[in-house]
């Protein structure tokens, strides 16, 4: 099993920034892609950004140029730097890790963008 623990969510004003962290533990050998998803009330969970163990990244169109995903393989941690936040970015953000085709999820962290 892989355990994922997210941190860094909270309340921020529009235009502000937050940095999310996700630390992986347990059977981490074999983890390839890690990523962030989000789910707003009444909406489906969607991919925000993902990064492979080699550093290749993928972003949702809605966050390109504002969010940056990064990864510290030595610390088994993935980060999501979120800048120029908008109210529509408000959601529960979930960390995901893919280990040999099996996906693992964190418990989620709430991000609220509001004045």
Which pair of structure tokens corresponds to residue 43? 């909406």
Predicted confidence at residue 23, as pLDDT, reads 96
Nearest alpha-carbon partner for 92 in 4, 33, 10: 10
pLDDT of residue 28: 87
Grouping H, G, I as helix, E, B as strand and the rest as coil, residue 97 is strand
**What is the C-alpha to C-alpha distance for residues 34 and 104, in angstroms, rounded to an integer?**
9
Q: What is the pLDDT of residue 61?
A: 98
Contact 8, 19 (CB under 8 A): yes
Strand partners, 58: 50
Q: What is the pLDDT along the chain (115 residues), one digit of tens a residue?
A: 999 999 999 999 999 999 999 999 998 888 999 999 999 999 999 999 999 989 999 999 999 999 999 999 889 999 999 999 999 999 999 999 999 999 999 999 999 999 9
- 96 Cβ contact list (under 8 Å, min separation 6): 4, 34, 35, 36, 37, 50, 103, 104, 105, 106
């Amino acid at each position: 099993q892989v355990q994922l623990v997210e941190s860094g969510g909270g309340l921020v004003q529009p235009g502000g920034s937050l940095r999310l962290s996700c630390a992986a533990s347990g059977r981490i050998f074999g983890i390839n892609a890690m990523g962030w998803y989000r789910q707003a009330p009444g909406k489906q969970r969607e991919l925000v950004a993902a990064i492979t163990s080699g550093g290749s990244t993928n972003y949702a169109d809605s966050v390109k140029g504002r969010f940056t995903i990064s990864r510290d393989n030595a610390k088994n941690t993935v980060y999501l730097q979120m800048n120029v936040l908008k109210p529509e970015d408000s959601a529960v953000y979930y960390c995901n890790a893919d280990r040999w085709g099996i996906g693992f999820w964190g418990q989620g962290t709430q991000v609220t963008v509001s004045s």
